[in-house]
Amino acid sequence: MNSKEWIAHFRQNATQYRVDWSLEPNITEKQIRSIIYSLQAWQLGETSDGSNLLRASTKYAHSINDPDYIEAVKLFIREEQKHGNNLGLYIDAIGENRIRHDWGDSLFRKIRYFNTSMELWTLTVIVVESTAQIFYQSLKDASNCTLLKQICTDILIDEAYHITFQMERMSTIVEGKTDFGKRWRKWFYKLFFFSTTLVVWFAHKKLFKAGGNSFKNYWKKMSLKYGKTLGKLGVASSQLPVASGVSQVTVRRYETLSGEHT
């Protein structure tokens, strides 16, 4: 999809209300205790104003002469803020407090501040969004609360498109690199993907377990996600002719991802 099509997608998706806010939370104290730390941390993470990403995207959009990309990124950020807002409303509804600091969020914010490279931004978002899909599925499965389940389903639907949005950008960025550039990136991306996977597990294992995921399950799901996203880029650069190869793989991946919410 081009930037105009993404703008249309995000605008249309913003008119979809999938959460019934008249519902009362229905969650036990024990369940709250197993999810609250992660819920608070992700709520904070989703609440960023996006100014650093917007700065990097604006610079990038001008360099490739695609001013519409700026608007698409703005709408993408707005969707992330909706997630933060909805999680915040849920935290309020169960009588817990929203937090202002979390070590993972502070670290991520510092990295974001210094990061003006579109490539690093895109890579980071792809990795974080991949863990997010398992995270929100676990949050959804950790209780019988219909309101929380609806909030998670809504986020999962949005996030599947976010990965497609970012993977398209990544394909375009990688397409412009030399063979050597593609080769070292393949390893660097993989290392970055799996080390982040590990950090997220240790920070949020209580929630992942509450949602029925063992470390083995989680790792397997993340490996599959890697294969469907960044792993495909490596294949494209080494086994297929560059230009057509990347787009062929891209198209196939979109078909797979568009129906995938877990």
User: Applying CB under 5 A, which residues contact Fe ion?
Assistant: 80, 83, 129, 159, 162
Other C-beta atoms lying within 10 Å of the C-beta of residue 212? 11
Gap between the Cα atoms of 13 and 16, Å rounded: 5
Other C-beta atoms lying within 10 Å of the C-beta of residue 194? 15
Burial of 162 (0-12, 13-18, 19+ CB in 10 A): buried
Nearer to Fe ion among residue 80 and residue 102 (C-beta): 80
Other C-beta atoms lying within 10 Å of the C-beta of residue 128? 17
The answer to whether residues 211 and 137 touch, using CB atoms and an 8 Å cutoff, is yes
The answer to whether residues 98 and 29 touch, using CB atoms and an 8 Å cutoff, is no
Nearer to Fe ion among residue 76 and residue 237 (C-beta): 76
Shortest distance in whole angstroms from residue 219 CB to Fe ion? 21
Nearer to Fe ion among residue 60 and residue 79 (C-beta): 79
Shortest distance in whole angstroms from residue 14 CB to Fe ion? 14
The answer to whether residues 226 and 130 touch, using CB atoms and an 8 Å cutoff, is yes
SS3 (DSSP) at 61: helix
Nearer to Fe ion among residue 11 and residue 62 (C-beta): 11
Shortest distance in whole angstroms from residue 161 CB to Fe ion? 8
Nearer to Fe ion among residue 142 and residue 236 (C-beta): 142
Shortest distance in whole angstroms from residue 81 CB to Fe ion? 9
Shortest distance in whole angstroms from residue 184 CB to Fe ion? 27
Nearer to Fe ion among residue 129 and residue 154 (C-beta): 129
The answer to whether residues 47 and 84 touch, using CB atoms and an 8 Å cutoff, is yes
Residue, CB closest to Fe ion: 162
Shortest distance in whole angstroms from residue 1 CB to Fe ion? 16
First to last CA, the chain: 22
The answer to whether residues 9 and 158 touch, using CB atoms and an 8 Å cutoff, is no
